[in-house]
Structure 1
């Protein structure tokens, strides 16, 4: 039989549980776009309908920046938002000065610079460069973005797509960021390089099970994606283009004690372009961040000593 004291204790517990559930639902609603859901748009590029989703902060500034985030092989657009822990959206919401776009690759892939690529985006020569151009035009016309403040970030196949844009149309962007991607080896490269200096940040895991840090052949799900350069050869390529000297750099570490993440920042004195290389000693094929840390065995270990989306945001915002 319940006494008044036990009844009171039960009511307190129930109220506490309701409060906890309300907080969890509130955080969930914010995190998963129930309050400010992703918007969606479609463009026709050639004979193909292409889609993208995007996050616009409430009360966004009159001429916001634009960040385009390209997903990896086999992913869909909104999953790039999840893999980055919604942190680009968070940063945009805090500043109210940027729109974050997540484009959808054709059948979940991008037509990058690799000759050997066993997916329809490459085989059909899907025009992802024009898709990107039209995305920028969409936001220029509809949201009056600052076209001098457009940035590209990509993961895996999305990273190789970002490097293609940097090689062919660097004038569209102020900065680039590449996560878990190496340039194709010369024998596997079908892109022309105009050689214009750029500012670019690289993140590479030394234990990446998909894109080998030391370079070599990429085999994914039994399919051959050809040979790629090493992470350090990839960075060296962009150091040369951007007229940065490999001897002139600043080193930093995460964390300060027993570091597992090593960073080098290069500045080109003539072009004022910057190259940043973040090497994760025990990192896998992941986007390290504080919000999305669900382990995926196929992708390897996720290091939690560095918050990659925040580092990329800070790099972009620091560019002149």
Structure 2
């Protein structure tokens, strides 16, 4: 169901798969942020409608917001560009007004993952967790926004054969010629673990391999410590610029392979208890 909300004098649109009923109130909200050149509807299809599984029985409100001109402002000051932080904040307030103080979790793919990184820094008090798929921290100097320095649970998923946002970090190819690059996917995970004051060494687990996964495999890296909010990284060896799911492979050949050794939604439900059946 398409809905709109007024933010900064603009009507901003979003699509709700399940917002509960008078008889069934959702226990959590998941905001799925699309990549550049996508919309809420296209990321829903691109991910094989897999996030909709969370909405079964109205237990989770799954929401697909639309970025203006199919993009998100993940790093520019709001006075210079669209204030997408205010949009997500308004959505969190909207669903809290409807259903009470239930957890709001953001899942961002690609450009949506870059916005999720910004949200973690700027409005952690409005959210309860984030998953970043196919996105890494920007180059040095790219975090030109406010940071409330609040610990935050973060799940990351990244393919080693991602040709759009490389596993080696933003500007990785240029780094071969001496240009500065951004943090890699593992370095991004380490960054969030450090923000959560985790000093224990990470634990690595290779997930069971499925025959249908072909030449892909998945390693789960956990950053955990008693009394600290966790961070996990799913490294998809051979995986491309996709949202791993068991329903549908990526549309375009340049997106790369989709593994079957993990499912993003299943990983979300394991990492965030509020999303468990």
Dislocated runs of 4+, deviation >4 Å: 57-60, 121-124, 256-259
> Which of 291, 300, 306 in structure 1 is aligned with 2:256?
300
> What's the counterpart of residue 241 of structure 2?
285
Structure having greater relative contact order (Cα 8 Å, sep ≥ 6): 2
Alignment of 1:50-199 (within 5 A): 50-56=12-18, 59=21, 61-94=24-57, 96-113=58-75, 124-141=80-97, 143-144=98-99, 146-199=100-153
Superposition deviation, residue 205 in structure 1: 0.6
- Structure 1 CA distance for aligned equivalents of residues 16 and 195 of structure 2: 32
Is the CA contact (8 Å cut-off) linking 1:295 and 1:302 kept in structure 2? no
Shift in Å at residue 107 of structure 1? Answer: 0.5
Structure 2: runs of 5+ lacking an equivalent:
174-179
Cα 1:292–1:160 shift into 2, 3 Å: same
Cα deviation code 1:133-165 (max 9, x no counterpart): 111222223x31x42411110000000111111
What is the distance in 2 between the residues matched to 1:227 and 1:78?
32
Q: Secondary structure at the match of 2:92?
A: helix
Instruction: Name whichever of 80-89 and 163-172 sits farther off.
Output: 80-89
Cα–Cα, structure 1 residues 206 and 126, in superposed 2: closer, same or farther, change >3 Å?
same
Alpha carbons of 1:72 and 1:292: their partners in 2 closer, same or farther (altered >3 Å)? Answer: same
Q: How does 1:303-314 map to 2 (within 5 A)?
A: 303-314=259-270
Structure 1 unaligned residues grouped into runs of 5+: 1-38, 116-120, 220-225
- 1:14 corresponds to: none
Partner of 1:204: 158
SS of alignment partner, residue 235 of structure 1: helix
- What count of residue pairs does the alignment treat as equivalent? 266
Counterpart contact for 1:211–1:218, Cα < 8 Å: no
Q: Contact 1:242–1:268 (CA<8 Å) still a contact in 2?
A: no
Q: Normalized against structure 2, the TM-score is what?
A: 0.86
Query: Once the 2 structures are TM-superposed, how far is the Cα of residue 216 of structure 1 from its aligned partner?
Result: 3.7
1:230 corresponding residue in structure 2? 184
Give the greater-gyration-radius structure (CA): 1
